[in-house]
Amino acid sequence: MIEVLGDLDSVNTADWKGRSTILSDDSASDLAKSLGLLVDRGFTEVDIVGIDGGSPDHILGTWATLTEAPVGLSIQLHHSGGITKRLHPDDGTLEFLIPKDDQFSVFALESCQKVSISGARWNLDSESLNFSTKGLHNQSTGEKISIKTDGILAIIFQS
């Protein structure tokens, strides 16, 4: 079943008869509230489609939600340039294999003191990483890539 979640201020609720849930807490975005509700309903993985477009504050708010989202929830954002995966320290090590020379980027969404990346063209060994361009455009060497962190990261895979 398709359901719309949020404060529903931009939705014609008549179009969603019986398929909407109002989340009225104004202290968080609709996306953040929706992720909390999905965890309460037992979901452990969420794919968010269509994050491109809109005003700059809403776009940045989507990325900020990755820092507010509940622990234990695997989140992937699907956008026109590819897919972004949130890595939370409680998730452990993220391991993946992508074709040689394919690019990926790693952004710290909060201050991280120990970020390790191995198997890539540019590796890190328990280095600090803040919200910056330091992790922009890394490349696969064709080997398994491993990423571990003590903070929240966004790993962007380009399509």
Look up the CATH number of the domain holding residue 90: 2.60.120.320
Q: Is it the case that residue 34 has pLDDT exceeding 80?
A: yes
- How many distinct structural domains can be found in the chain? 1
Confidence of residue 18 (pLDDT cuts 50, 70, 90): confident
| Burial annotation 91-129 (CB, 10 A radius, 16+ → b, else e) | beebeeebeeeebbbbbbbeebeebebbbbeeebeeeeb
Residue 120 belongs to domain spanning: 81-158
Query: Is residue 13 included in any domain, yes or no?
Result: no
Would you state the pLDDT for residue 148? 99
* DSSP assignment letter at 159: -
Average pLDDT over the chain, rounded to whole? 94
Query: Is residue 141 included in any domain, yes or no?
Result: yes
Tokens of 149: 């962190």
Confidence of residue 52 (pLDDT cuts 50, 70, 90): confident
Instruction: Of 30-34, 116-120, 151-155, give the lowest mean pLDDT range.
Output: 30-34
Phi, psi of 134 (to 5 degrees): -55, -35
- Alpha-carbon dihedral sign for residues 95, 98, 101, 102: negative
For residue 29, the Cα-to-chain-centroid distance in whole angstroms is 15
Would you state the pLDDT for residue 8? 83
Would you state the pLDDT for residue 91? 96
Residues contacting 40, CB < 8 A, separation 6+ = none
